[in-house]
Amino acid sequence: MLIKFILFLLIFMVIVLVHEGGHFIIGKRSGIHVEEFSIGLGPTIWGFMHNGTKYSIKLLPFGGLCMFEGLDMDDEDAEPGEGSFLKAPVWSRIATVAAGPIMNFVLAFFLSLFVISSVGYDAPVVYNVMEGYPAAEAGISAGDEILKIGSKRIEIYRDISLYMLLNEKKTVDITYRHEGQKHTVSVTPKYDESTGRYLFGLYGSGERKKGNVIDTVRYSLVEVRYWIEATWKGLGMIFAQRVTLDDVSGPVGVAQTVGEVYESSKSDGIYYIWLNMMELTILLTANLGVMNLLPIPALDGGRLVFLLIEALTKRKVGQNIEALVHFVGMCVLLVFMVFVMYNDITKLFK
């Protein structure tokens, strides 16, 4: 149990450190004074001052903070200091706010380089087809490579599964390569009673393919793209009520997932434990990057909305109005986080 908790904390702290570090580095380079840089939330359990910045570790390991001078000033009559966030040029502020989520994607890319160079990528090659299902009837067979479904370019096998989640019943053109020749067929998914889903009737082998250095870089970018797309489209499924909020996990659910991945990997040895933990970190850091870019008050995306308005109109939104919007957004987020955490805990006892 202890090793699972340590792994969870390590993953979470690395993701948060990279995110907040992005804000910190770009903010510092833009001449903005950082009042506090912390890992965790709540009361400080350890910290020190250096060059006017307080560096600290806080009690609750569920977040982090890079507090810039003047970031949340709500008094329009107060004069911001020379190193204040508000004094920096608007595009420097945009870069500083955007740097956190961008660094999450950068972390996902570098971890993907390690994973894909070690075990390869899941090529979209058909391992087998289900008799009586549309793919087999259309002439697709084992060994064929799926190139395109509709307008969607298929680069890894998981792209097929993601497409099916979002477009269950639609008739679509599938382009595939068979013995070096490209073919395009029209396929309508068939409902499968055993899984309760619409299927083309394709099986992937689950095997991964290694390539050269260029392939490794390319498919590392594809890996990051896949998780960004999966997160974004997963949010769309929530709003379309195709999945429920019960399917959303918070820190408790993530900790449970870390434990399950550890248990399923430990029989293969420590090397595969770390590989699987890296894959989980890629998913989580890409997820955090996307979530933070959503135009929700109190998140980086919400702040970017106000900054972009300022950049386009050459006028700042009133500080008290922006502060109020972010305060309300934070309250809503806290309520949502409590709900998700409660949901996670109740699922543990089911």
- Domain 126-204, CATH class in plain words: mainly beta
Q: What is the pLDDT of residue 243?
A: 61
Our CA angle for 49, 51, 53, nearest 5°, is 50
What sections of the chain are H helices per DSSP? Answer: 2-29, 90-119, 134-137, 157-166, 213-239, 251-265, 270-293, 300-313, 319-348
Q: Which two tokens stand for residue 215?
A: 């392939």
Output the pLDDT for position 312: 92
Residue 307, SS3? helix
How many other β-carbons are positioned within 10 Å of the β-carbon of residue 224?
Answer: 23
User: What pLDDT shows up at residue 324?
Assistant: 81
Domain ranges within the chain, ordered by starting residue: 2-117+282-348, 126-204
pLDDT in the model for residue 140: 93
Task: Provide the whole-model pTM.
Answer: 0.88
Amino acid, res. 279? E
pLDDT computed for residue 247 by the predictor: 61
In 3-state terms, what secondary structure has residue 136? helix
Per-residue pLDDT of the chain (350 residues; tens, 9 = 90+): 678 788 888 898 899 999 999 999 999 999 999 999 998 888 899 999 998 899 999 888 778 889 998 876 555 555 667 788 888 999 999 999 999 999 999 999 999 999 999 999 999 999 999 998 999 999 999 999 999 999 899 999 999 988 887 776 788 999 999 999 999 999 999 888 887 788 899 988 888 999 899 999 999 999 999 999 998 888 777 776 666 656 666 666 677 777 778 787 878 888 888 898 999 999 999 999 999 999 888 889 999 999 999 999 988 887 778 778 877 877 877 777 777 666 666 765 66
Q: Which pLDDT score, from 0 to 100, does residue 7 have?
A: 85
C-alpha pair distances (Å), 1 with each of 76, 342, 348: 51, 21, 15
Reduce the secondary structure of 206-262 to three states and give it as a string. Answer: CCCECCCHHHHHHHHHHHHHHHHHHHHHHHHHHHCCCCCHHHCCCHHHHHHHHHHHH
pLDDT at site 344: 62
Residue 34 backbone dihedrals phi, psi, to 5 degrees: -95, 115
DSSP per-residue string spanning 49-89:
EETTEEEEEEEEEEEEEEEETTTT---TTSPPPTT-GGGS-
The Cα 145–Cα 269 span in angstroms is 32
Q: Which of 293, 279, 265 is nearest to 226 (CA)?
A: 279
Q: What is the pLDDT of residue 111?
A: 97
Q: Which of 85, 56, 58, 54 is nearest to 69 (CA)?
A: 85
Instruction: Tell me how far apart the alpha carbons of residues 303 and 267 are, in angstroms, rounded to a whole number.
Output: 45
